[in-house]
Amino acid sequence: MHHHLTTPYRDQLQAQRASLLAQLTQQRGGLVDRAEAQGRAPQPEESHAQTATERELAFALDERETAEIAAIDAALQRIADGHYGACTECGTDIPAARLHAAPEAERCIHCQEALEHARHA
């Protein structure tokens, strides 16, 4: 793997990915601990609602972090393919300042904004 084309962002992406995975593992571990504690001592109705809310929150967090990990994986794949740094929509080079702030970015700011406007329309 060491002979692969590298960019300054490869290490940054891999570090981000590792820290997101650690966060996910920690969140899931914490929920399992609480679920086990509740399993040992059955709770009245209202704690069911609380557990459901916690579960929904965990899913929401999971979803965001899972999406970030997927974006990072896609960026690492683009590095491996030699396409990294070009907008996947229009092919323009993504400015270094943008990649520095968000190395997993797959679109230039114009295409990203267009996409977000379309989503919220």
Name the site residues for Zn ion (rule: CB under 5 A).
Answer: 87, 89-90, 92, 108, 111
Planar angle of CA 77, 67, 35, nearest 5 degrees: 130
Q: Is 13 exposed, middle or buried (0-12, 13-18, 19+ CB in 10 A)?
A: buried
**Min CB(121)–Zn ion separation in Å:** 19
Q: Phi and psi at residue 86, in whole multiples of 5°? A: -100, 140
Q: For residues 97 and 105, give the distance between their C-alpha atoms in angstroms, rounded to a whole number.
A: 11
| Least distance in angstroms from the C-beta of 88 to Zn ion | 8
Smallest distance from Zn ion to CB 60, Å: 29
For the CB of residue 68, give the shortest distance to Zn ion in the complex, in Å.
Answer: 20
CA dihedral sign, ordered 18, 20, 23, 24: negative
